Amino acid sequence: MAAKRETDSRTQAERKSERELVVTRTFDAPPRIVFEAWTKPELLQRWWTPKSFGIVFLSCELDVRTGGGYRFVFRHGDSKPMEFFGRYLEVTPPSRLVWTNEEAGDGGSITTVTFEEQGGKTLLVMHDLYPSKEALDAAIASGSTMGTDEMFAQLDELLAAR
C-alpha cells in the first residue's frame, strides 16, 4: 500500500485558478516517445481506460493535426455508449497538444498538454481551461468532466464498501 501511494503521488493535480485545472507527471522517456503514446490511437487505447475504470473503448479516432478532430466512444457495463469529442487546435510534435472538449456543449474546457524534456525524461503538464469560473464549478458539481458514468462507478464502489 505504501509503495502504491508513492507512485500515486507522482501525479499532482490542483485547481490553479477559478477557471483552470492542472495535472503534472514525469515520465521516464524523452518527449518524442510520450508524445507518440498520446497521438497514436492504438497506443492511446492501451492506457486511457485502466481496468479499474470499468469502461472499454468501442472506438477511438484521432486525426492529430491542427484542425483535425477526435472522437472516443466508451461503454460502461450495460449503459449506453458515451462519446467524447473535439478538435485539435494545435499540434506541435513532440512538445505540445491543444484540443477542445465539445461533448458538454459550450461549457467545455480547452486542454493543453505540454511535453518538456528534462534530462532524458519528460515533464508532462496537462492544463484544462474552462470558459468561466461558473463552467468549472458546474463541471465539478455535476461530475461531467470525469464522465458521469465513471463517477457513478466510483460512487458505486464507495457505496458498496460501506
Partner 1 sequence: MVQYSPTRLDSSFAALSDATRRGVLEQLGRADASITELAQKFHMTLTGMKKHVGVLEQAGLVATEKVGRVRTCKLGPRSLDDETAWIEAYRQRWAARFDELDNVVAELKHKEKVDGRKKRDR
With CB under 8 A as the contact rule, the residue among 1, 2, 3, 28 that binds partner 1 is 28
User: Is omega for the bond preceding 94 within 30 degrees of 0, making it cis?
Assistant: yes
117-156 residues in contact with partner 1 (CB under 8 A) are 126, 132, 134-135, 137-146, 148, 150-152, 154-155
- 107 touches partner 1 (CB under 8 A): yes
Assess 116 for contact with partner 1 (CB under 8 A). Answer: no
Calpha distance 70→99 (Å, rounded): 9
DSSP 81: P
- Using CB under 8 A as the binding rule, whether residue 16 contacts partner 1 is answered as no
* Residue 14 lies near partner 1 (rule: CB under 8 A): yes
Q: Should residue 20 be labelled a site residue for partner 1 when binding is judged by CB under 8 A?
A: no
Rule CB under 8 A: is residue 52 a binding residue for partner 1? Answer: yes
In the list 1, 6, 47, 119, the residue contacting partner 1 (rule: CB under 8 A) is: 47
Beta-carbon count within 10 A of 158 CB: 9
CA distance 23 to 11: 7
Spatial distance between the Cα atoms of 115 and 155, rounded to a whole number of angstroms: 33
Tally the residues of the chain. Answer: 162
b/e string for 27-62 if b means 16 or more Cβ within 10 A?
Answer: beebbeebbeebbebeebeeebbeeebbbeeeebeb
Q: Is 23 in the site for partner 1 (CB under 8 A)?
A: yes
Q: How far apart are CA 51 and CA 53, in angstroms?
A: 5
Using the rule CB under 8 A, which residue among 12, 59, 92, 118 binds partner 1? 12
Candidates 11-19, 68-76, 82-90, 94-102: pick the segment binding partner 1 (CB under 8 A): 11-19
- Of the candidates 34, 47, 152, 32, the one whose C-alpha atom is nearest the C-alpha of residue 93 is 32
Residues in touch with partner 1 (CB under 8 A): 7-8, 10-15, 21, 23, 25, 27-29, 33-34, 36-37, 43, 46-48, 50, 52-53, 104-105, 107, 126, 132, 134-135, 137-146, 148, 150-152, 154-155, 158-159, 162
